[in-house]
Amino acid sequence: MKLPAGGDIRKKATSDLTGHIFVIWPRFPAMLRSRLIGYVWDAAAPAQTVEKSRKSGTVIFFVLRSGQQKLGQWVAERRNVYEDYRRAFGEDPEDPPAIALSIDTNDTRSEAEALMGRIMFTSGPVAAPANR
């Protein structure tokens, strides 16, 4: 719905995002060793960018969408989380035990807004959502 003004995950000072989904693989100690993949819509980084977090060594961002195009519209995304994990961390993952939804505007001190629909994991092909 709304991107944080000046947000760009490629820079530590502006690494704010509108609504995004983290897929989480906790490992002890969690703050140092957990692994997270963040699927994001960034204000500036081009779609298809894969970027390590500038603030945490445990997060790899996959930019699925960029900029203003299609803001305010429902869009559907599909990812192969298994392959994304292998690409990010160089090994086969276990099933992720957790996800988190987040919105982040503390760096740019701006506003962001997002709506999220159904989130689904499957081990096989899934029909595309209608009207998305």
pLDDT digit string, tens, across residues 21-47 = 999 999 888 777 899 999 999 999 999
**Domain that residue 72 falls in:** 12-104
For residue 44, being part of any structural domain is answered with yes
For residue 4, being part of any structural domain is answered with no
Determine which of 17-31, 43-57, 106-120 has the lowest per-residue pLDDT on average. Answer: 17-31
Place of tokens 């099933």: 95
For residue 2, being part of any structural domain is answered with no
The total number of structural domains in the chain stands at: 1
For residue 123, being part of any structural domain is answered with no
Average confidence (pLDDT) over 98-122:
94
Q: pLDDT band for 122, please (50, 70, 90 cuts).
A: confident
Calculate what percentage of the chain has a pLDDT beyond 70.
93
Distance CA 116, CA 83 (A): 23
Average confidence (pLDDT) over 50-77:
94
For residue 83, being part of any structural domain is answered with yes
pTM: predicted TM-score of the whole model, two decimal places: 0.88
